[in-house]
Amino acid sequence: MATLTVWRFPTASGADEALGTLKELQHQELIKVQDGAVITWPDGARKPRTRHLSDMTGMGAVGGAFWGFLLGMIFFVPILGAAMGAAGGALGGHLAHLGIDDDFIRQVREKVTPGTSALFVLSSDAVLDRVRSAFEGRHAELLETNLSADEEARLREAFTEGE
């Protein structure tokens, strides 16, 4: 079973600074990072900057298509407003089919705002107490959703690159 976590940081540079911690946790085999993305949203910017963590993931990563779809739903569809109303609802329904519900999207949308950053991680096999303690002191807020084995399989089928 995979977990999609979002570590939200109160500064625009917090997620980038936390990458070293995530890499160390993976090196210690305390988490298996399947895929991820970093979102930075400097104060005054109209939209966040996104970056795929391709250097931390291996074969089977869901890749840029998934992150583009998810991050687009969270950050860019609201900007388009009513013009995307029906299409946004259909896309949101597709995400729910993949185990990512509207409440999760709403939470991320409300909390990752200008002046903040976030580390999005699709992971498995995490030693939760050790992972949480590694992020202490960074003022990170954790949002997460668990994906069932079926939802994870549908996610991979829909978005895995290179197959």
Lowest mean pLDDT among 37-51, 89-103, 111-125, 147-161: 89-103
pLDDT tops 90 at residue 42: yes
Q: Is the pTM of this model over 0.85?
A: no
Task: Find, among 141, 142, 153, the residue nearest to 34 by Cα.
Answer: 153
Q: Ramachandran region of residue 162, left (φ > 0), alpha (ψ -120 to 50) or beta?
A: left
pLDDT at 64 over 50: yes
Least confident range of 36-40, 43-47, 81-85: 81-85
Predicted confidence band of residue 81 (pLDDT cuts 50, 70, 90):
very low
Mean pLDDT of the region 41-68: 75
Question: What long-range pairs does 45-50 form, CB within 8 A, spacing at least 24?
Answer: 45/114, 47/75, 47/76, 47/79, 48/75, 48/112
- pLDDT at residue 102 tops 90: no
pLDDT at residue 7 in the model? 93
Binning pLDDT at 50, 70 and 90, where does residue 85 land? very low
Residue 5: its pLDDT value, please? 86
- Give the separation between CA 73 and CA 69, rounded to whole angstroms: 6
Q: How large a percentage of the chain has pLDDT more than 70?
A: 71
Closest CA to 37 of 60, 61, 59: 61
Instruction: Pick the closest to residue 119 from 60, 71, 63, 62 (CA basis).
Output: 71
Beta bridge mates, 124: 32
67 vs 18, residue with greater confidence = 18
